[in-house]
Amino acid sequence: MRKRIYEIISASNGQDKLSTAYDLFMMAVIAVSLIPLIFKQTNFIFEASDKVCAAIFIVDYLLRWATADFKYSAPSAISFLRYPFSPMAIVDLVSILPSLTVLNRGFKILRVLRMFRALRVFRSFKLFRYSKNAQIIANIFKKQKEPLGCVLLLAIGYIIISALIVFNVEPDSFNTFFDAVYWATVSLTTMGYGDIYPVTGVGRIVTMVSSIFGIAIVALPAGIITAGYMDEINKMSGEGEDGEE
């Protein structure tokens, strides 16, 4: 019985219709749970839907925890202890906690979590579990984590160095070092809000040079992700052809 439950709640491979239906159902529940975040004010319908969605998420979390021994190739006790600390289990828990104040208003400590209403946005990350396309993206980031990590370090180094240079070259335009870091980050993404900018000739030269390097740095992740995406597509195509044979 538990094994069948695990097969149903696991990501569907397209062959198990009940598992596919469960994935679609959970994706719909996630979408419904995010609707109240679009509005500043709440009402009875939103509160009721949040109660229902939170209850479904709790049941899903408990079922996954109860079948954790099928997920990990380890003894049951270790699997049950390991599951709550897995990335997706943490996402599940974080997305559930803000709704506990709605389910039970008697816990004063949990009322503090009402300030973290935005934590419900984490429910969107649950889609990675049920959507095959989202899993492809997750696999890309997982396999390309080393080159993407190098680009991230390069971007952080660029931001810090650019901020240090412009903060010392033009201190009157930046009240704090954080303002310089903000400017460097905006320049890296080439968005250029224009709320903070250098006014001296030297500062503008620094801006032009940093913008040129920023374009190059921003282009690197796109190339890495595109290459990883093509590898995943080719891999899926090859598996499909093997299956047909």
Tokens of residue 73, six digits: 């190739």
The Cα-based distances of 51 to 8, 57, 95, 103, 130 in angstroms read 24, 10, 13, 6, 21
Q: How high is the pLDDT of residue 238?
A: 66
Specify whether the CB–CB gap between 9 and 22 falls below 8 A: yes
Of 76-90, 98-112, 167-181, 209-223, give the lowest mean pLDDT range: 98-112
Q: What is the pLDDT of residues 169-205, one digit of tens each?
A: 888 888 888 888 888 888 777 666 667 778 888 888 8
Residue 93 confidence (pLDDT) above 50: yes
CA–CA separation, 22 and 17 (whole Å): 9
As a whole number, mean pLDDT of residues 196-215 equals 82
Residue 109 confidence (pLDDT) above 50: no
Q: How high is the pLDDT of residue 113?
A: 45
Q: How high is the pLDDT of residue 121?
A: 63
Q: Is the pTM of this model over 0.75?
A: no
Q: How high is the pLDDT of residue 59?
A: 92
CA–CA separation, 186 and 162 (whole Å): 11
Q: What is the pLDDT of residues 8-32, one digit of tens each?
A: 888 666 677 888 888 888 888 888 8
Query: Cα angle vertex 92, ends 128, 1, to 5°?
Result: 90
Question: Which residue type is seen at 238?
Answer: G
As a whole number, mean pLDDT of residues 198-225 equals 82
Q: How high is the pLDDT of residue 103?
A: 45
Question: Which residue type is seen at 194?
Answer: G
- Say which CATH architecture domain 145-244 belongs to: Orthogonal Bundle (1.10)
CA–CA separation, 12 and 123 (whole Å): 19
- Say which CATH architecture domain 2-130 belongs to: Up-down Bundle (1.20)
pLDDT over 70, % of the chain: 77
- Where are the domains positioned within the chain? 2-130, 145-244
Closest among 103, 125, 88 to 56, alpha carbons compared: 103
Which pLDDT band holds residue 127 (cuts at 50, 70, 90)? low
3-state secondary structure of 191: coil
Q: How high is the pLDDT of residue 2?
A: 81
Question: Which spans in the chain are helix H?
Answer: 2-9, 17-34, 44-66, 68-71, 76-82, 87-96, 100-103, 108-111, 127-130, 132-143, 145-169, 177-188, 201-244
